Structure 1
């Protein structure tokens, strides 16, 4: 009877170990996804971030990278604790899961509260970002020493199929457009089929005339990224609850078996 009880406990520990190992694999993959999104935002979209003249989006990318690294390290720690059956390491792992989970809750609450309280300040901030992009495009595009801005604007207009900050008419006040030796009405990157001097015609058949301009496209892109990150955050939070439950059960079984 005692041998049978010992066998049952051993089977329970083995099952919990496999379940917790599977959880940690998923947790590790989720951390990798968050890290990848942060790196992609920082590398691929850094040009757009610089155009907005705001550190908020760059800071968001770094936060994602840090969060991804923490989740990956925590997942590796959980795998080691599970495979080695180290009760002390399981406790450390459980504490880390709880801390990350609490931080997610606090961040979510603060984001909701700030979103509710910032209006109309959020609207004013949004207008400030719009104005910053407009001024940057008008004053720095194709100017000496501003090659990075020129490249970023061309990339923005081509990738999002837009022209100007709010619309194509923003380019009329551009320092580059108003130069005596310039023959274009808009940059060539505004054209649906870019070619040399194609910006001489600003007819709708030739250039992008998106209502709201590039700033609207950029805001839509940022918003879609936030939705994706919210979904990933909810998924990770659910995984953490499952992981905490499995960790407690495994710790209890290991403690019982040690007696």
Structure 2
């Protein structure tokens, strides 16, 4: 009877160790996006994809552990569970990518709707959204922007010319970042553009991770099935 290839066995173990590390990275990165997005006041409906990515990262960590144990113990049962679960994840990734590309316009519409809801919170004078308004002012100062879509008009009656709301830093007043409004210099870029750019940047990173992960998953399928068949022949 043919024995189990040590090369395949240890390659499977090392592969799954790095697979587990990838799961940790995805999980950590997704949680970071979730936390920073919440701090910026983004609507909870925008986090559906991020929440899914958190779940995927956790599952990948479990699968990496399962694959390591299956390779080390030469367990056909664990290897088959690893293979089936990995195949399902790869199929779901492909479906998710296709749906994301097809529904791109719907995502943009949902983002615009979320911005409208956020503008209403900025214009609220009841004090219910005071904490959110204060956090958003910090966001404006950090990213040198004003309002969400229409600049200071998004603040409605809450915009006070005597305060430092949207006010440019002295070194920025002569640059293209600022414009004069009610006798003071304010940042002219809407914060909605900043948020949208951050989302696009994050999506590029996520797409890169997903593509790299798909390659790793295919290698995992090949290694696990090869080892599974060798253990069966043994």
TM-score category, normalised to shorter length: 0.7 to 0.9
Contiguous gaps of at least 5 residues in structure 2: 171-179
Q: For residue 160 of structure 1, report the CA deviation from its aligned partner.
A: 2.0
Distance 1:129 1:154, change over 3 A: same
Compute the RMSD of aligned alpha carbons.
2.8
Q: Counterpart in 2 of 1:45? A: 37
Q: Which has the larger radius of gyration?
A: 1
| Residues 63 and 82, structure 2, Cα contact 8 Å, conserved in 1 | yes
CA distance in 1, matches of 2:231, 2:88: 23
- Of 228, 238, 255, which residue of structure 1 is paired with 2:205? 228
Distance 1:167 1:95, change over 3 A: same
The farther-off stretch of 130-139 and 58-67 is 130-139
State the TM-score, normalized to the length of structure 2.
0.84
- Of 57, 68, 71, which residue of structure 2 is paired with 1:79? 68
Distance 1:235 1:122, change over 3 A: closer
- Of 124, 134, 144, which residue of structure 1 is paired with 2:119? 134
Could you say what secondary structure the match of 1:175 adopts? helix
Could you say what secondary structure the match of 2:147 adopts? coil
Contiguous gaps of at least 5 residues in structure 1: 194-200
Distance 1:128 1:45, change over 3 A: closer
Deviations 1:210-230 (A, max 9, x none): 2xx100010010111111111
Q: Counterpart in 1 of 2:87? A: 98
CA distance in 2, matches of 1:123, 1:60: 14
Could you say what secondary structure the match of 2:145 adopts? coil
Q: For residue 204 of structure 1, report the CA deviation from its aligned partner.
A: 10
Matched, 1:153 2:132: no
Deviations 1:72-105 (A, max 9, x none): 0111111111111111111111111111111111
Q: For residue 168 of structure 1, report the CA deviation from its aligned partner.
A: 3.6
State the TM-score, normalized to the length of structure 1.
0.76
Deviations 1:118-152 (A, max 9, x none): 4xx56644443333333322225xx6242431233
Distance 1:73 1:123, change over 3 A: closer
